[in-house]
Amino acid sequence: MTEIKIFDTTLRDGEQSPGVNLNKEEKLEIAKQLERLGVDVIEAGFPASSEGDFQAVKLIADTIKNSTVTALARTKKNDIDRAYEALKNTANPRIHIFLATSPIHREYKLKMDKETVVKTSVDMVSYAKTMFNEVEWSAEDASRTELDFLAEIIESVIDAGATIINLPDTVGYSTPEEYGQMFKYVKENVPNIDQAILSTHCHNDLGLAVSNSIAGIENGAEQIEVSINGIGERAGNASLEELAVLLHIRNDVYGYQTNLVLNEIKRTSDVVSKLTGMAVQANKAVIGRNAYAHEAGIHQDGMLKNSETYEIISPALVGVSSEESNTLFLGKHSGRHAFKDKVKSFGIELTTDELSTAFNNFKELTDHKKEVTDDDIYAILMEIKTDA
Ligand code: KIV
Ligand code: ZN
């Protein structure tokens, strides 16, 4: 079975989320949890961006043993030197160098012609190769780059020593078909492509980051760049938890394996949410508060008979406890069956008449209150018991 490497960029692209600023102790806490989760590569930060980030990358590099630790660098000697200083004591170091390749970035941002973009990349990959065995090179805005130019520059940077080639959909503009085609083209048109592994890096501006990552691996990528809770620039990056669970649950379709410890997913999501201050939306796939909650009476009835009627992921798979999973959410769409189950969970015995009264009172309350909590239900039951 093909193994897909998980490259987590929560601490670099994820930290680029507006309003997020982690200190080095917080970054280390997240890195340790990512190591427990079993990610293959931790992108710890961008050492040349600030002294604080340099120190954070160094602390992570000095501590983490089981994951490769990498850091971002522009195609500048100083960035590469800073990354080397930060990473030199880690067990498995990797440098991640990037330069934009698309016409719009070349003309307006870099003011470089194609030849200069190739030469700069080759020179800096060769320079980095004197310090690192693993050199990842990213073609920023790859998905809006001319395919023949992309093939040309990839061949050159591999010759210069790049071992991982990352092709980002930097602005989240690609469709899965286009993104997959880019990988297919590179596989078929870069003569030395077998000397490197290909990587996806998808942004979620059009909500396609997960689908695009899948299209990438279906066309030859063996590494996916992801972040916890999908955080990152603008609408964020492909979410680790969604891809991990998709590859696991639909292994019958895709047939890939990863080294992830799936039941560490919820804990990792909670740590990242707490330390970044970014709440996870309630209906977020896999880890949202409502991801395992069923409100409709028909669904609840099905769940009570066989959970597979409406649940394709077992909460325990990703480390969501039964208390957290909020499986049968009681609201205005819920039926008597689920209500009876809730009463039982409180250890309270009701006669048939009492149960009918309690259920009617509960239904009335759902018309007035947005969320009926366990405390509300308990209060209804106590009122009936006291009145009796
Ligand atoms: O989105 C992007 O292109 C990036 C690169 C720096 C890899 O984050
Ligand atoms: Zn990015």
Give the position, in ligand 1's atom list, of the atom nearest the Cα of 225.
Answer: 7
Per-residue pLDDT tens digits for 104-143? 999 999 999 999 999 999 999 999 999 999 999 999 999 9
The annotation status of 201 as a binding-site residue, yes or no, is: yes
**13 close to ligand 1 (CB < 6 Angstrom):** yes
> pLDDT value at position 387?
62
> pLDDT value at position 279?
97
> pLDDT value at position 370?
86
The annotation status of 259 as a binding-site residue, yes or no, is: no
**201 close to ligand 1 (CB < 6 Angstrom):** yes
Give the position, in ligand 1's atom list, of the atom nearest the Cα of 13.
Answer: 8
Per-residue pLDDT tens digits for 281-302? 999 999 999 999 998 989 999 9
The annotation status of 252 as a binding-site residue, yes or no, is: no
> pLDDT value at position 324?
85
Instruction: Find the 226 Cα to ligand 2 centroid distance in Å.
Output: 9
**138 close to ligand 1 (CB < 6 Angstrom):** yes
**176 close to ligand 1 (CB < 6 Angstrom):** no
> Which ligand is closest to the CA of 138, given by its number?
1
Name which residue sits closest to atom 2 of ligand 1, judged by CA. 170
Q: Which of 207, 262, 265, 217 is nearest to 237 (CA)?
A: 207
The annotation status of 13 as a binding-site residue, yes or no, is: yes
Instruction: Find the 168 Cα to ligand 1 centroid distance in Å.
Output: 6
> pLDDT value at position 232?
98
Per-residue pLDDT of the chain (388 residues; tens, 9 = 90+): 899 999 999 999 999 999 999 999 999 999 999 999 999 999 999 999 999 999 999 999 999 999 999 999 999 999 999 999 999 999 999 999 999 999 999 999 999 999 999 999 999 999 999 999 999 999 999 999 999 999 999 999 999 999 999 999 999 999 999 999 999 999 999 999 999 999 999 999 999 999 999 999 999 999 999 999 999 999 999 999 999 999 999 999 999 999 999 999 999 999 999 999 999 999 999 999 999 999 898 999 999 999 999 999 999 999 999 888 877 889 999 999 999 999 998 999 999 999 999 999 999 999 999 889 999 999 999 999 776 5
> Which ligand is closest to the CA of 231, given by its number?
2
Give the position, in ligand 1's atom list, of the atom nearest the Cα of 138.
Answer: 7
